[in-house]
Amino acid sequence: MIKLCYKEYEYKITLGACKYFYEQTGKDLQHSLLLYIEACDTSRDMANISRLRLFHGLLSASDASYLFYSVIKQVGGGASLEEIQDAMHRVSWMPTESEDGLCEPWPLVMLGLATDANVYFSEIAKKKVDS
């Protein structure tokens, strides 16, 4: 689930999502998510605020909204791009102490999506090898 501004969105990473994201931004969806995994790994010794600033700089808010929208629209959740952009604008810009994770800054939500995508793609690769 993608959790933005007290709302949860189901999503699916598909070839269609990758194509749509590329058409809108000229960027590769998988590469964009890998940037977050790499930044998380290489910034472990940084202060939290420095890490958050680093994550903010990996994608513009506009590109991030298209990434979220491209994977959310694959499950037909009915969320519009404008709803996603509004949710991104309204979430905290600093990490919260809330345990529900529903109001975290969008770069941390993107990091969570990237981590989930990493697991997803690893499982797909394993299934292909096993079959």
At 21-56, the pLDDT tens digits run 999 999 999 999 999 999 999 999 999 889 999 999
Q: Is the pTM of this model over 0.95?
A: no
Burial (Cβ within 10 Å: 0-12, 13-18, ≥19) of residue 125: exposed
Domain extents for the chain?
A: 2-123
Taking the C-alpha atoms of residue 66 and residue 114, their distance in angstroms, rounded to an integer, is 15
Band (pLDDT 50/70/90 cuts) for residue 57 is very high
Residues of the chain with pLDDT > 90: what percent? 63
Beta carbons within 8 Å of 4's beta carbon, 6+ residues apart: 68, 84, 87, 88, 91, 102, 106, 109
Going 26 to 30 to 33 to 34, the CA torsion angle's sign is negative
Rounded to 5 degrees, what angle do the CA atoms 50, 51, 52 make? 90
Q: Are 5 and 91 in contact (CB under 8 A)?
A: yes
